[in-house]
Chain A
Amino acid sequence: AQSVSQHNHHVILSEAASLELGCNYSYGGTVNLFWYVQYPGQHLQLLLKYFSGDPLVKGIKGFEAEFIKSKFSFNLRKPSVQWSDTAEYFCAVNSKTGFQKLVFGTGTRLLVSP
């Protein structure tokens, strides 16, 4: 069965620090990869997605992620975080040929202190 694991459940950073959130997936086929963000009390919003092509994808609000096929990873990065980035971040995957539903990781709760 397909699964997604996010290594960091809670991350605390100071403003201007760099961010990297890990995401690994388990699935034998080709996948689409997503990062969603959930601000406190709000719904899931798409940060970025990878379908094919350049493995380095850029999203909104200065976020980027790199797909490394050999490592089954899709880590999220941001060079300099802001207090407004405080949120929960979910990595998700669906399959190009199998399942269309999104399978989510357990989420990483990021707290950025001013």
Chain B
Amino acid sequence: AAGVIQSPRHLIKEKRETATLKCYPIPRHDTVYWYQQGPGQDPQFLISFYEKMQSDKGSIPDRFSAQQFSDYHSELNMSSLELGDSALYFCASSSGSSFTDTQYFGPGTRLTVL
């Protein structure tokens, strides 16, 4: 079965640079979530989209922005990168905005900021 695809899988950036992470949801899934997992920590919710509109917002820095496109893929744009942004960034997708929809996670993008 098709899964959530994230690219790139690994990314190395310098401080103050920008990064763009991409997420391709499972086919026919219209809801995308972004989570950040720091080293040794639990995943923290950043932001979500349903039908191309932002549906919820968590602890996402102002330096980060995200959007969902007409084909339902999503991009997380990160600017003025800081050392503390080094983390694993997961995307998850679900079908519909119902609270009983299971979220399926992608393999993550490991971002390292030097």
Contacts of B41 in A (CB 8 A): 106
Q: B95-110 vs A: 1/0 string, CB under 8 Å?
A: 0010111111111100
Is the C-beta of B48 less than 8 angstroms from some C-beta in chain A? yes
Partner of A102, one of B45, B97, B108: B45
Is the Cβ of B100 less than 8 Å from the Cβ of A43?
A: no
Give chain A residues whose Cβ lies under 8 Å from the Cβ of B105.
Answer: 36, 43-45
Q: Chain B interface: which size bin?
A: 20 to 34
- A72 at interface, CB cutoff 8 A: no
- In the complex the two chains form, is A97's CB within 8 Å of B43's CB? no
Q: List residues of chain A with CB within 8 A of the CB of B56.
A: 99-101
Size category of the A interface is 20 to 34
Interface pair B99/A101, CB less than 8 Å apart: no
From residue A60, how far is it (CB to closest CB) to chain B in Å?
A: 13
Name the contact of A51 in the complex, choosing from B48, B90, B97, B100 (C-beta under 8 A).
B100
Chain B contact residues, CB within 8 Å of chain A = 33, 35, 41-45, 48, 55-56, 58, 90, 92, 97, 99-108
List 5 A–B pairs whose Cβ atoms lie within 8 Å, in order of A's numbering.
A43-B90, A43-B105, A49-B102, A95-B99, A101-B45
